[in-house]
Amino acid sequence: MNNLSDYDLLLLKRCFTLAENAFNYTLPNPKVGALITNAYGNVIAEAWHQKFGEPHAEVLAITQLPQNFDYHDCTLYVSLEPCCHSHKKTPPCTDLILQKKIPRVVIGTLDPNPHVQGKGIQKLQQAGIKVFLAHQQFEPIQKNINKHFYVNQIHHRPLITLKWAEYQNKIMGDTQHRLFISNPYTQYFTHALRANHQAILVGKNTVLIDKPQLNLRYAIGKNPTIILLDTHAEINPQQYFSNRHGITINKKIQDQKVHWHFLQVHDMHDWKNNLSTIYKQYQIGSILIEGGSTILRSILSTGLWDYAYVIVNPETISTKNPVYAPSINHHASLQVFETIHNHTVFQWKNLSIKSH
């Protein structure tokens, strides 16, 4: 099933590049790219899944060609196995491929969604279509651009990424006022990270002390949903985040306003249950946790996290009421992710989560 030429591989690579044009608009769906070639191998249509709930990449590629187009010499390339299941937002892509009689389909990776996972390929093959699946060389790219999707489909919870900045001497804040630890260059990094997540989670104290805007100022995409951990629902979201979408996880009220929901939970520390509710009820597939330190320590202690990015400022600092950064003492791998100006970004990956 995988006798692919170098040209096939090049075009699959192109599909992954196309997929990335979606920025964060497809979340929690995966980013997917597709293209169609004619008998001479020329690319005659290219597309990518653009927005959650809207047509898939294959459908958009096909829509670029005339209704009665003859596909008998064509090949469809797609970064992810075409979907074959119903009872979802859009009809199965396999049906359209069969209807258009596309004879050859080249696929980057299987879809980890248990409703698809090989069944899309099977359906096409049973109809006599020649299907070629790349031999796992695209798995790392797929897992990189759609990290959340694997975690969602396999563990039924959002991808959890932690991020904080600290000085060389581990100070990450002061209980009374905001410290500016990162530099303007690392801000770009932070905003790119925000753009790759559907939601940003912070605690009440971070809102009160830092007054963060939690938006995308230096990255392209849709502003993430704000999730506040606020046990007694004391923060008025309108005061800090007017017109933003958000959820307050709290123990006091259950309420739904136009932009803001209050989700009442039994136990603020029951991350497993609360995160799974956020995933199922609001379809939030990825959360960037930006602090503060109590929340970071709490989630770290559960082991329910996927990646952590720690920005280290090489200076040391003394401050009156220091808050110390957490440490990671799980089975995790560490690498220097990027050096920005004179700051270093370290990436931790939780190795006890099997789906990465």
Catalytic positions are 58
Residue 118 beta carbon to ligand AOF: minimum distance, rounded to whole angstroms: 12
349 touches 333 (CB < 8 A): yes
H or E segment at 276? helix 271-282
User: Rg of the chain's alpha carbons, rounded to an integer?
Assistant: 22
Under rule CB under 5 A, residue 124 binds Zn ion: no
**174 vs 137, 313, 346, CA distance in Å?**
46, 16, 22
- Determine if 108 is a binding residue for ligand AOF (CB under 6 A): no
Strands 75-80 and 43-48: unpaired
Report if residue 29 touches ligand AOF, rule: CB under 6 A. Answer: yes
Nearest to Zn ion of 56, 157 (CB atom):
56
Q: At what angle do helices 271-282 and 293-302 cross, to 10 degrees?
A: 100
Distance, C-alpha 335 to centroid of its chain = 20
Is 93 near Zn ion (CB under 5 A)?
Answer: yes
CB-nearer residue toward ligand AOF: 30 or 246: 30
Please select the residue that binds ligand AOF; options are 13, 56, 148, 163, rule is CB under 6 A. 56
CB of 87 to ligand AOF, least distance (A): 9
Choose between 26 and 186: whose C-beta lies nearer to ligand AOF. Answer: 26
Q: Which is nearer to Zn ion, 56 or 148 (CB)?
A: 56
- The overall longest dimension of the chain from CA atoms, in Å, is 73
Residue 88 interface partner, choices ligand AOF, Zn ion, none, CB cut-off 5-8 Å depending on type: ligand AOF
Overall residue count recorded for the chain in this entry: 356
DSSP β-bridge partners for residue 160: 287
Taking CB under 5 A as the binding criterion, the range among 11-19, 51-59, 136-144, 256-264 that sits at the site for Zn ion is 51-59
Q: Binding segment for ligand AOF among 110-118, 179-187, 232-240, 304-312 (CB under 6 A)?
A: 110-118
Cis previous bond, 140, omega within 30: no
CA angle 252, 253, 255 (to 5 degrees): 170
By CB under 5 A, what part of segment 54-73 binds Zn ion? 56
> Of 73-102, which residues contact ligand AOF (CB under 6 A)?
80, 82-83, 88-90, 93
CB 287 within 8 A of CB 159: yes
Question: In which element (H, E) is residue 86 found?
Answer: none
Contact 286, 155 (CB under 8 A): no
Residue 116 touches ligand AOF, criterion: CB under 6 A:
yes
CB of 188 to ligand AOF, least distance (A): 28
Please report, as a single letter, which amino acid is at residue 312: V
Residue closer to ligand AOF (CB basis): 89 or 297:
89
As beta bridge partners, residue 256 has 261
* Shortest reach from residue 49's CB to ligand AOF, in Å: 3
Residue whose CB is less far from Zn ion, 56 or 123:
56
Query: Is residue 51 part of the contact set for ligand AOF (CB under 6 A)?
Result: no
Name the residues that contact ligand AOF, by CB under 6 A: 29-30, 32, 49, 56-58, 80, 82-83, 88-90, 93, 111, 113, 116
Name the residues that contact Zn ion, by CB under 5 A: 56, 83, 93
